[in-house]
Structure 1
Amino acid sequence: MTWHQFKVFSPNAQKKNVLEYVKPNSIRIVNDKKGGLKVYDHVFWSCDGYKERHDGYLEPAGEKSDYADQERIFQDVGKDLLDHLFQGYNCTLFAYGQTGSGKSYTIMERGVNKGILPRMTDSIFEIANSNYDQNIEYQVSFSMAEIYNEKVYDLFTEINSKQNERTALKIENCKAKNLSCFPVANSNDIAHYLEKGYKNRSIASTNMNEYSSRAHTIATIYLAQISTTEKSTLKSQINIVDLAGSERAAKTGAKGTRLEEGGKINRSLMHLGTVIRDF
């Protein structure tokens, strides 16, 4: 397995730039006495240098602009994962960073500036529909879950109107039991479920982010490639994980429930980082 590190700085990421973009894969922290140079596999600069098209799409403002639009990010990051998916590998993409830094925008944004997940689903069905091998059948299904306060919830399950809460799923053999998984025939089907899942996410306002996600969102696309001649099935999946943003209570102004949520978010991110470093 190959890990790719990349940084994305989106239009609403910061009011004052404290970073400088250094081509082709580095950033420099402004006023850092040690130089502050950070190197990654990819660095995408999206804080400025863009213009808005008539349809609302944000694109580079000119040939000299360093602005990375959503299509470029998908081409540089999403396409490799897509190739691995069709080769039969299970893949996972994490979006990690401070609250309000643009993770959800980059990963799951819908509409004209759609992010990696919607673009990936479009490409999956384009590949499946352009397949000329009569002996291969493609089946695609989709699920969405969130981890809120250390418990897993199905985002396709409506909140109980009487109790104003959802039922947490049981975890057995590293899988969420009874997680809803729906077959989808096209991108519109996934867009429908993605919209439904988004509405059920745990979101609240803090001083740092008006629409702060209070949970980790996991969207999973399952692909089955069925060979009618060999009577075999190649199964793979890709997990798109929009992690809740790390935060400091002093800056978010979190109290009570918000403070408890923030503490568990930070703790889970710390443990995830440990797992990845020790992998």
Structure 2
Amino acid sequence: MDCTIQKKLDLGTKAVVRMCNGQTILDHVSDDKQPKTFAFDHSFYSTDPNDPNFASQEEVFNSLGSGVLENAFSGYNACIFAYGQTGSGKSYSMMGTSEQPGIIPRLCNEVFRRIKETTCETLQYKVEVSYMEIYNERVRDLLDPKKSNKHHLKVREHKILGPLVDGLSVLAVDSFQQIASLIEEGNKSRTVAATNMNAESSRSHAVFNITLTQILKDVEKDFTGEKMAKISLVDLAGSERAGKTGAMGKRLEEGGNINK
């Protein structure tokens, strides 16, 4: 469970939002008003683990991450991004904790599980990752923060590949353990600061990219082809009104750029 939610439960705060069967239901504090209902493809309730509608990190991944992975192995680019105000559980959903890993570590682990199952003489794989943050409209390389502290990276448009970041580190990996280590190091370099809404608010957008290349070989015809897909996993910075966060000075400037 997100630690922010746990704190509110410990204070005895009443939950006015509940989820059931793909619907989000907003209950009014006053009993004389009817609740409002909003329908979504998925709506996950993660406030109380004892609630019958409670959605675990595994359930969230199975509902959202599995389909993205299927598309990537079929050769299609895919993306998941988390958006919402500070304290709503974006980083928890995407990264999670060591005890309750989120979408990103679960997806990375599943990538290598599938690779191990399907690698053969006619099918090989190559996996590459990059990790960057966008802070105050400047791009930093989280896998090489010293370099990008001196020179902020530039975003360019490639006529075939689309937008790309000049000089961004792209590292080859061959195990989930390597990715987990890179993510841990990258997270240490993310820009985090306290606001009134969250003591550890992410003040930057973080983008973790996985490039999956499948190398197809036809031994009899002496032919080799490649199928490539890119998975972009995005944890956006908290998006909310400045008045709620008590933002001033640098925090206020951050908030303005976050909401652009």
TM-score range, shorter chain: 0.7 to 0.9
Indicate the RMSD between aligned Cα atoms, in angstroms: 1.9
1:241 paired to 2:228: no
Q: What is the alpha-carbon distance in structure 1 between the residues aligned to residue 201 and residue 175 of structure 2?
A: 30
Which residue is 1:57 aligned to? none
Does structure 2 conserve the Cα–Cα contact (< 8 Å) formed by 1:19 and 1:27?
Answer: no
The SS at the match of 1:222 is strand
2:24 corresponds to which letter in structure 1?
I
Q: What is the alpha-carbon distance in structure 1 between the residues aligned to residue 194 and residue 126 of structure 2?
A: 39
- Superposed, 1:54-93 pairs within 5 Å as 61=50, 65-93=52-80
- What is the number of residues matched between the two proteins? 243
1:165 CA displacement: 3.9
2:91 corresponds to which letter in structure 1?
S
Does structure 1 conserve the Cα–Cα contact (< 8 Å) formed by 2:19 and 2:44?
Answer: no
| Gaps in structure 1 of 5+ consecutive residues | 1-8, 51-60, 268-279
Does structure 2 conserve the Cα–Cα contact (< 8 Å) formed by 1:12 and 1:47?
Answer: no
Which residue is 1:39 aligned to? 39
The SS at the match of 1:42 is coil
TM-score with structure 2 setting the length: 0.88
- Superposed, 1:1-279 pairs within 5 Å as 10=2, 12-13=4-5, 15=8, 16-31=13-28, 33=33, 35-48=35-48, 50=49, 61=50, 65-131=52-118, 133-159=120-146, 165-173=149-157, 174-229=163-218, 230-267=223-260
1:253 corresponds to which letter in structure 2?
G
1:47 corresponds to which letter in structure 2?
T
| Gaps in structure 2 of 5+ consecutive residues | 158-162
1:10 CA displacement: 4.6
Offset from partner CA, 1:153-196 (integer Å, 9 cap, x none): 11112347xxx944210111121001001000100000011011
TM-score with structure 1 setting the length: 0.82
Does structure 2 conserve the Cα–Cα contact (< 8 Å) formed by 1:11 and 1:47?
Answer: no
1:95 CA displacement: 0.3
2:176 corresponds to which letter in structure 1?
S
Q: What is the alpha-carbon distance in structure 1 between the residues aligned to residue 138 and residue 112 of structure 2?
A: 33
1:110 CA displacement: 3.9
Offset from partner CA, 1:70-115 (integer Å, 9 cap, x none): 1111111110001001000000101011111111011112412100
